[in-house]
Chain A
Amino acid sequence: MSNLSLRHLVKRYGTVSVVKNVSLEIAEGEFVSLLGPSGCGKTTILRMVAGLIEPSDGTITVGGRDITRLPPNKRNVGLVFQSYALFPHMTVFENVAFGLRRKGESGDGLVARVNEALSMVRLDGYGERYPRQLSGGQQQRVAMARAIAPRPSVLLFDEPLSNLDAKLRDEMQIELKRLQRELKITTLFVTHDQAEALSLSDRVCVMHDGVIQQFAAPEEIYHRPATSFVASFIGKPNHLAGTVKDGAVDLGDGLVLQSTGAAALGEGAPVDIFIRQEAVTLSASASDDGASVPGTIVLRSFSGAQVQYVVRLGERFEVVVEMASSGEGANLAQGDEVFLTIRPQDIIILGSGPGA
């Protein structure tokens, strides 16, 4: 068993808390991402799990074993650094062998396991090269091979893909996911890239300011964000504000949006609503069920598969709408009067104001 569990983890520097009472249960073999803007404490948590930073409070256990106060070399974790941190004076083989040698592996067994690890990251035959002779992507693979070779009980990634260019990053993402599925190692992945977190993870833990905002499956994070922070951080949703009126959301200026969750928040409650760009449909006429609101197109921009519109709603709001460029509603022009239709269940609604 090697489930990773963090209980009431706290890290203070002087009077500043960068991690505030974080508890997290990660099942054996699960892939969990810590997602958040820089300074949210995600890397600090990762480094505490690796033993490179000592927690001010709380416990870390792996498979039931308390490792909170163990030095990093006694923890049996694998860590892939953002900078790769390969040993520049050692060959690829020696880099990968480093952790195995520390475990007393030698001779044929060592060679076999190093080659196995190199083959998993598709670097067979690169053993005699030095890190400086490899490309960024290859160095990244060596760093991964080095981390997995000693068969750690927990694998940690610290923004490992952020130094790669976009195309290589996509390739490595797929590679990484395949590798993790194959090895079934409990994995904690730190990133500020939401697409990366959503596509790789079984569950995503969104953090802000040292506190967990939401810990859930990617779909749930995307469609049912628990807090305003998560709603605005994930995707690029339109943010509007209004009040609940007759079970719908009144935005003022005579604009009323039907929303499934509105009634539950109580009549007259101030609310924040978030609307995903792709959740809106534009059409020239109003829909029959009264679920559409009128607007004016102020900007159109074509970006290949999608067309983006900026639509003015009343006096106070502008929303960005994304439509498939092949479908209807792709040929609207600036200045057109249109109707916006949003399914009531697609509106993310959260109470605003104090206590929310």
Chain B
Amino acid sequence: MNEQRPGLAVSSLALLVILFLQIPVIVVMLASFSETSYLTIPPQGWTLKWFEAVLTDRTYIDAIKNSLILAVGSTVISLVLGVAASYAIFRKMMPGSEALTSLLMAPLIIPSVVIGVALLQYFTLVGMRGSFFVLLIAHVVITVPYIVRSALASLSGIDLAVEEAARVLGANGFTTFRLVTLPLIKPGLVAGALFSFVTSMENVPVTIFLAGPRDTTLPILIFTSVEMGVNPSVAAVSTLLIIATAAVLLAAERWTGFHRFV
């Protein structure tokens, strides 16, 4: 078979699909600049007042703050737990590693709504419902699979002899992990952490069951705002979210070339 550049038809089709997929994003971004107090396309006039409205509104600021704390917190906890679990699984330190892997990865497959309902029932039963801590635990549950997946993939790329070399050269188990294993799996972990962060940041179905009135996150706020009647400040906050996400992804790609690990 001879290698060929895709023909005109295939290229146009691909371009069309990409455009189609991006239309909602473009629509939201355009709408956020409209002067009207309802969402409309094309925007009527140009203004930044909706951005100003969002950034001066306590409700939005608190929600953004909550979301960031939650996303950073759950990612850090997931990193610690996920990497430790992956290492134990990978080195076959205990029986049943396959089963454990499936268990840790399960939240990827189980519908989020089901996880939400299940956690709500569980925390109600143990009388912990409605606290921020509960929300944090829930987000760890849904973000840990991303860490485990990337950690396992990265670990499988390491020559076991490299760790043995460190041990023989006088490093104890922890030092070996810190100085040799961890630096070698870092690019993969950065990728996993990004997915974890984004997953926590955008989650609605689990959060909505568990968030108390004072713990509203940004996606929940957007969701409820839209229910009450759409105004362009929702579009403005969405635009901010899109820009922030794109910036983080670009930076991470520059930093680690993480697309290799996705």
Contacts and interface: CB of A to CB of B under 8 A. Distances in A.
A335 B80 CA distance: 78
A89 B163 CA distance: 13
B109 interface: no
Contact of A73 (B172, B179, B184): B172
A87 B166 contact: yes
B159 A99 contact: no
B224 interface: no
A98 interface: yes
B170 A73 contact: yes
Contacts of A73: 167-172
Interface stretch (A56-64, A76-84, A118-126, A303-311): A76-84
A117 interface: no
Interface in B135-192: 159, 161-162, 164-172, 175, 179-180, 183-184
Main secondary structure of the interface of A (DSSP, over half): loop
A85 B183 CA distance: 15
Interface in A84-143: 85-89, 98-99, 102-103
A42 interface: no
A188 B109 CA distance: 52
Q: Is the interface of B mostly helix, strand, loop or mixed?
A: helix
A186 to B, nearest CB: 15
A246 to B, nearest CB: 58
A208 to B, nearest CB: 26
A243 B100 CA distance: 64
A24 interface: no
A72 B164 CA distance: 8
B168 A102 contact: no
A72 B159 CA distance: 18
Given A87-B166, A88-B184, A89-B183, A81 B161 contact: yes
A146 interface: yes
Interface residues on B, range: 10 to 19
Nearest to B175: A102
A98 B169 CA distance: 7
A50 B168 contact: yes
A84 B164 CA distance: 11
Contacts of B166: 87, 98
A52 B168 contact: yes
B175 A79 contact: no
A88 B179 CA distance: 12
A200 to B, nearest CB: 21
Interface in B91-129: none
Contact of B170 (A50, A81, A86, A103): A103
A103 B169 CA distance: 9
Given A73-B168, A98-B179, 11 more contacts: A51-B167, A72-B168, A73-B172, A75-B168, A81-B161, A81-B164, A81-B165, A99-B169, A102-B175, A150-B169, A150-B170
Interface of B: 159, 161-162, 164-172, 175, 179-180, 183-184
Q: 7 tightest CB-CB pairs across the interface, nearest first?
A: A102-B170, A99-B169, A85-B161, A85-B165, A72-B167, A79-B168, A81-B161
14 contacts: A52-B164, A72-B167, A73-B168, A73-B170, A77-B168, A79-B165, A81-B165, A83-B161, A86-B162, A87-B180, A89-B183, A99-B170, A102-B175, A103-B170
